[in-house]
């Protein structure tokens, strides 16, 4: 049959390269060569410095990719008929990368969790110390797993909701591969001890500059596709995805303003200092939660949940109100990370107040999702994929309530610096982000690869229960641990001195740390089961796709909506 | 303008508040503007089109 269908029936790298036009293949080789040269320059300038090692890594990856492109360089030009289909190859690779990062990142998570229970698991190796493994875990799950899921699904949702094909076939690949290059440089850097010491913004200046280039391209793809849309109204999911891309760009640029020691040196110094640096960092940090881990995934929810349930979103108006509420309020909430610090009192109060008001748009979104399912509960019961999304909405509601609660100053005096924060983050990351992602992936995989269904519905069910039980064990362990910690640290005896030493509080944590590692292990096992199921679905036989289905608006002229 | 602490606080507490209220009012007007209702209704239905064909 035709090339477009061939690609969906036989999944191979060479087929994907053959989908590129000769011009796009040439552009790919030119860009890869330039980035490879950049890697060579980093290797030469850095020498023994970690930036030199990163130079070699960049060089090796780019050379490998050049060979991939050359492998199909002389393949025939793709048929013009491809323009009558959506361009999903980058989404497909993005989904596979999402699951690969999930397994790597969650494995690292189980390792760091175990390290807290059994400190010998660091094996006396510098690279395996807690301070290096921990950012490798957070970056792998947030940026590797979450980021790839967002990129892959955003390309899919964007095309369907605007009825337009992606504007070209090269830039999506640049975004996907460039982004993963950033993730690899970040993770390998941590193992070598490279870090800016800013939470969730650990990568050093050269990785940060590279991410800006990738991110601007990503935003441009969005704008260029929307400019060619057929539907005059931009569906709400796209607003969330665009807020995610735009705000993350702003946050990333401002928080990473730094001066490197030299061009051949990995280390840099932030342009901010003292409490300003802390405020900028947590303005970034909390909005990373808001726009990376919330807005983007709400975009996912507002598309895949109604699609899977076969019902329109309960209230479209409410989704718009929550969008502007979330977008506006979150910007001011970051200072709740700095309660009881040198930050001016009124800024702390501002952060606390906005964190409380934030509950309104957050619950509006969670409620909107659950109200959408009202009348389709039989589907939730029978279909684990939809149940993933329903549970995600529930966890989203619970976590945002907990977040507002923890931002209240006196509550924070008990919870801050304890495991309660860790539990809160994981209720959000596992319960909301990961569950909505897995639900969306189980929707999208059969659609993209033109399969009738997933390889095994039973394995989706197994994954669902492993994920739920793992999350619940994790969160309960950290609630117990965190509150005990907080209470032990503030208990005074009759002499007015602390009753418990810090070490005593650590001994009290031990059983909870074992429980947490076990909960994480269950969650990791679920991700492995899911990866296997997805892989078997991809390898299975395609159904015969009806010719007319799943087509973009055929015109190519750049006419905006109406 | 004297760019000191009190000025910034004053600006935030006055204009920041008006900005928030103006934005909230603006969003509510947009959401409840009667002629927008049809467009919102179409938007939420359209993504469910099962055959997902090009728009005629």
DSSP conformation letters of A4-23: HHHHHHS--HHHHHHTS-HH
CA nearest neighbour of A394 among A325, A329, A472? A472
Q: Between the CA of residue A473 and those of A104, A134, A311, A421, A512, what are the distances in Å? A: 21, 20, 33, 15, 10
Both structure tokens of A204: 């050093």
What is the separation of C-alpha A343 from the centre of its chain, rounded to a whole number of angstroms?
30
Query: Which tens digits make up the pLDDT trace of A420-443?
Result: 999 999 999 999 999 999 999 999
Task: Give the per-residue pLDDT at B20.
Answer: 86
Return d(Cα A80, Cα A111) in angstroms, integer: 49
Place of tokens 């494995």: A107
CA end-to-end span of chain B, whole Å?
58
Contacts of B27 in chain A (CB under 8 A): 320-321, 324
Among A residues 529-558, those touching chain B with beta carbons less than 8 Å apart: 548-554
* Beta pairing class for A258-260 and A268-270: antiparallel
CB distance A118 to A146 below 8 Å? no
Q: Which class for A508: exposed (0-12), middle (13-18), buried (19 or more C-beta within 10 A)?
A: middle
Return d(Cα A119, Cα A227) in angstroms, integer: 54
- For A399-454, list the strands marked E by DSSP: none
Half-sphere exposure of A194 (CA within 13 A, CB side): 24
Please report the sign of the dihedral spanned by the C-alpha atoms of residue A87, residue A90, residue A95, residue A96. positive
DSSP A288: I
CB distance A191 to A122 below 8 Å? no
Task: Give the per-residue pLDDT at A553.
Answer: 62
Of A161, A316, A324, the CB nearest to B23: A324
B6 in contact with chain A, both atoms CB, cutoff 8 A = no
**Partner-chain contact A550 B40, CB within 8 Å:** no
Query: What 3-state class would DSSP assign to A402?
Result: helix
**Partner-chain contact A235 B46, CB within 8 Å:** yes
CA nearest neighbour of A335 among A281, A293, A259, A289? A281
DSSP A554: -
Name which CATH class applies to A86-539.
mainly alpha
Contacts of A328 in chain B (CB under 8 A): 20, 23
Task: Give the per-residue pLDDT at A6.
Answer: 39
**Partner-chain contact A161 B53, CB within 8 Å:** no
**Partner-chain contact B44 A303, CB within 8 Å:** no
CA nearest neighbour of A146 among A297, A43, A257, A367? A297
Task: Give the per-residue pLDDT at A546.
Answer: 54
Place of tokens 């590129």: A20
Query: Which tens digits make up the pLDDT trace of A479-517?
Result: 999 999 999 999 999 999 999 999 999 999 999 999 999
Count of all residues that appear for chain A in the document: 562
ipTM of model: 0.88
Contacts of A163 in chain B (CB under 8 A): 54-55
CA nearest neighbour of A163 among A264, A93, A235, A82? A235
**Partner-chain contact A553 B32, CB within 8 Å:** no
Task: Give the per-residue pLDDT at A554.
Answer: 57
Res B28 pLDDT > 90: yes
Give the residue extent of every domain in chain A.
1-74+81-85, 86-539
Stretches where chain A sits below pLDDT 70 are 1-11, 544-551, 553-562
**Nearest chain A CA: its distance from B27 CA (Å):** 7
**Partner-chain contact A553 B54, CB within 8 Å:** yes
């Amino acid at each position: 049959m035709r090339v477009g269908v061939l690609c969906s029936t036989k999944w191979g790298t060479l087929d994907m390269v053959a989908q590129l036009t000769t011009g796009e293949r040439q552009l790919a080789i030119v860009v890869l060569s330039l980035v490879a040269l950049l890697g060579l320059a980093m290797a030469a300038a850095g020498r023994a410095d970690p930036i030199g090692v990163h130079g070699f890594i960049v060089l090796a990856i780019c050379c490998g990719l050049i060979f991939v492109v050359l492998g199909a360089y002389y393949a025939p030009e793709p048929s013009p008929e491809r323009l009558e289909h959506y361009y999903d190859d980058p989404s497909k690779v993005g989904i596979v990368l999402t699951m690969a990062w999930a397994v790597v990142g969650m494995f690292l998570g189980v390792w760091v969790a175990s390290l807290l229970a059994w400190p010998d698991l660091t094996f006396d190796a510098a690279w395996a110390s807690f301070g290096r493994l921990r950012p490798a875990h957070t970056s792998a799950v947030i940026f590797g797993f979450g980021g790839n899921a967002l990129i892959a699904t955003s390309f899919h949702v964007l095309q369907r909701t605007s009825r337009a094909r992606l504007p070209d076939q090269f830039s999506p690949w640049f975004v996907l591969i460039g982004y993963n290059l950033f993730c690899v440089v970040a993770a390998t850097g941590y193992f070598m001890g490279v870090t800016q010491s800013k939470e969730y913004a650990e990568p050093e200046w050269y990785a940060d500059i590279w991410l800006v280039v990738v991110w601007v391209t990503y935003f441009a793809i969005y704008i260029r596709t929307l400019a060619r849309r057929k539907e005059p109204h931009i569906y709400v999911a796209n607003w969330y995805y665009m807020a995610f891309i735009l705000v993350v760009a702003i946050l990333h640029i401002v928080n990473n303003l730094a001066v490197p020691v030299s061009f051949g040196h990995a280390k840099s110094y932030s342009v901010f200092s003292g409490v300003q640096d802390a405020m900028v960092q947590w303005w970034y940090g909390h909005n990373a939660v808001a726009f990376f881990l919330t807005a983007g995934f709400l975009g996912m929810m507002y598309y895949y949940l109604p699609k899977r349930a076969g019902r329109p979103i309960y209230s479209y108006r409410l989704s718009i109100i929550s969008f502007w509420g979330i977008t506006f309020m979150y910007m001011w909430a970051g200072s709740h990370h700095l309660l009881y610090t040198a930050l001016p009192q009124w800024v702390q109060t501002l952060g606390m107040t906005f964190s409380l008001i934030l509950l309104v748009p957050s619950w509006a979104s969670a409620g909107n999702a659950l109200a959408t399912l009202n009348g389709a509960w039989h589907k939730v019961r029978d279909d684990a994929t939809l149940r993933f999304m329903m549970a995600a909405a529930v966890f989203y509601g619970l976590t945002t309530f907990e977040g507002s609660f923890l931002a209240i100053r006196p509550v924070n005096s008990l919870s801050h610096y304890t495991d309660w924060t860790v539990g809160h983050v994981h209720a959000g990351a596992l319960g909301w982000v990961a569950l909505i992602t897995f639900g969306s992936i189980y929707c999208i995989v059969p659609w993209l690869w033109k399969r009738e269904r997933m390889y095994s519905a039973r394995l989706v069910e197994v994954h669902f229960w492993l994920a739920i039980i793992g999350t619940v064990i994790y969160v309960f362990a950290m609630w117990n641990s965190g509150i005990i910690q907080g209470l032990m640290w503030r208990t005074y005896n009759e002499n007015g001195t602390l009753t418990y030493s810090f070490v005593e509080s650590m001994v009290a944590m031990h059983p909870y740390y074992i429980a947490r590692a076990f909960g994480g292990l269950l969650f990791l096992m679920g991700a492995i089961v899911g990866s296997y199921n997805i892989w078997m679905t991809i390898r299975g036989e395609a159904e015969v796709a009806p010719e007319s289905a799943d087509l973009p608006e055929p015109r190519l002229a750049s006419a905006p909506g109406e | 303008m004297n760019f000191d602490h009190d000025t910034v606080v004053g600006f935030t507490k006055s204009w920041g508040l008006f900005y928030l209220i103006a934005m909230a009012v603006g969003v509510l007007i947009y959401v409840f503007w009667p002629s927008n209702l049809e467009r919102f209704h179409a938007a939420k239905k359209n993504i469910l089109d099962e055959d997902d064909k090009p728009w005629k």
